[in-house]
């Protein structure tokens, strides 16, 4: 596995991974955007964030994006989950993550982040996210936020 900085050419793979991983892990979420809208969104994210991709056999299989201390995205293709790719991507941002949100129902993600030293500091009813799904804010343990 190789981890490298994402380029504009990776946006399609990133959008597809996000869609597939969300569908698999969070089938309760509403589908708010088309694949074309996802592509436009992630094209913008790649150019405005620190986005890293995990590549196996020449194929992008996971990605993470951080901007202004916020981990905005960390997804691994369902076919490649459980192989340490998410942990390797998370490690790339170890010194730059100040906080992030996870949906409360996504217990697998919550356990993953807790296992990597993050702690829950705020629960919401979801009124501030577009999915209107209750979420939880995480920070690095000992960060004081």
Residue whose C-alpha is closest to residue 95's, from 116, 114, 69:
69
Residue range 101-140, pLDDT digits in tens: 999 999 999 999 999 999 999 999 999 999 999 999 999 9
Cβ burial, residue 2 (10 Å; 0-12/13-18/19+): exposed
Asked if 1 and 37 sit in the same domain, the reply is yes
Asked if 111 and 83 sit in the same domain, the reply is no
Asked if 3 and 43 sit in the same domain, the reply is yes
> What phi, psi does 144 have (nearest 5°)?
80, 5
Residue range 20-58, pLDDT digits in tens: 999 999 998 988 999 999 999 999 999 999 999 999 999
Residue span of the structural domain in which 57 resides: 1-95
What's the domain count of the chain? Answer: 2
54, β-bridge pairs: 3, 62
Asked if 60 and 81 sit in the same domain, the reply is yes
Residue range 60-72, pLDDT digits in tens: 999 999 999 999 9
């Amino acid at each position: 596995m190789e981890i490298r900085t994402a380029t504009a050419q990776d946006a399609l793979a990133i959008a597809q991974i996000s869609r597939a991983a969300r569908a698999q892990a969070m089938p309760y979420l509403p589908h708010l955007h088309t694949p074309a809208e996802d592509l436009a969104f992630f094209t913008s994210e790649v150019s405005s964030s620190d986005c890293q991709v995990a590549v196996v056999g020449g194929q992008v299989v996971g990605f993470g994006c951080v901007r202004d201390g916020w981990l905005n995205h960390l997804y691994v293709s369902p076919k490649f989950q459980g192989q340490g790719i998410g942990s390797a991507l998370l490690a790339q941002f170890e010194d730059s993550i100040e906080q992030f949100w996870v949906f409360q129902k996504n217990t697998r993600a919550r356990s993953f982040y807790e296992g990597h030293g993050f702690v829950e500091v705020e629960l919401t009813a979801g009124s501030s996210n577009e999915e209107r799904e209750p979420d939880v804010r995480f920070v690095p343990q000992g960060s004081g936020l």
